[in-house]
Chain A
Amino acid sequence: TAGITQAPTSQILAAGRSMTLRCTQDMRHNAMYWYRQDLGLGLRLIHYSNTAGTTGKGEVPDGYSVSRANTDDFPLTLASAVPSQTSVYFCASSVGSNTEAFFGQGTRLTVV
């Protein structure tokens, strides 16, 4: 079972460019999440989705957008990247809010 798959694994992006981080899960989980983790720090919630067709803002949503067109996919888009968005991005999914969340392997993004 693949679980959660993120792509790409890493990326160097020029400031001002746009980019979409992909996240796909094959567990048919209702809830999905995007977190960022800066070097040496904890995870911060960017956006989340309770179910297909709905999304919500987390702790640090500015500069990011998400969509949830179907159950499996939850892409994260940076419309115009800035160096402060350099981070490791983790996607996760869970059946519901009170259940175990499964994380992807992360995408390491460097904005220069």
Chain B
Amino acid sequence: LAKTTQPISMDSYEGQEVNITCSHNNIATNDYITWYQQFPSQGPRFIIQGYKTKVTNEVASLFIPADRKSSTLSLPRVSLSDTAVYYCLGRLTGGYNKLIFGAGTRLAVHP
């Protein structure tokens, strides 16, 4: 996965769908794509993980195109409590467990 690139910040309103895209051009064949959420003064929390196509859970959906060079986290109908920083994870080259966080996308949901 190597380094990842995502937008620094996004704004949305309650009830809207939010899509956050992460670029990971150097993804390895066996790498999964993982997203985390972090609230202020808390540790990150796992949201969703996928390998290809689409994955959906009770919190979000993850869309991964065929080339796997990017992924899009989709949050349906956001609420004020979804205001947080969202991270796409990467991996340092040559490291089995060298999981690294991107800079993160700061999502602000407004009333």
Give the size range of A's interface with the partner.
Answer: 20 to 34
Q: Are B32 and A42 in contact (CB under 8 A)?
A: no
Interface presence of A101 (CB below 8 A): yes
Stretch at the interface among A12-20, A73-81, A102-110: A102-110
B residues near A22, Cβ cutoff 8 Å: none
Q: Which residues of B contact A44 (CB under 8 A)?
A: 100-101
Tally of B interface residues using CB under 8 Å: 26
Which stretch (B16-24, B71-79, B88-96) binds chain A?
A: B88-96
Residues of A within 8 A of B85 (CB): 42
Partner of B97, one of A31, A102, A103: A31
Main secondary structure of the interface of A (DSSP, over half): strand
* Whole-angstrom distance between the Cβ of B89 and the nearest chain A Cβ: 9
Q: Does B60 lie at the interface of the complex (its beta carbon under 8 Å from any beta carbon of A)? A: no
Are B97's CB and A100's CB within 8 A?
no
State whether A45 touches B100 (Cβ < 8 A): yes
- Kindly provide the distance from the CB of B64 to the nearest chain A CB, expressed in whole angstroms: 14
**Residues of chain A at the chain B interface (Cβ within 8 Å):** 31, 33, 35, 41-45, 48-50, 56, 58-59, 90, 92, 94, 96-98, 100-106
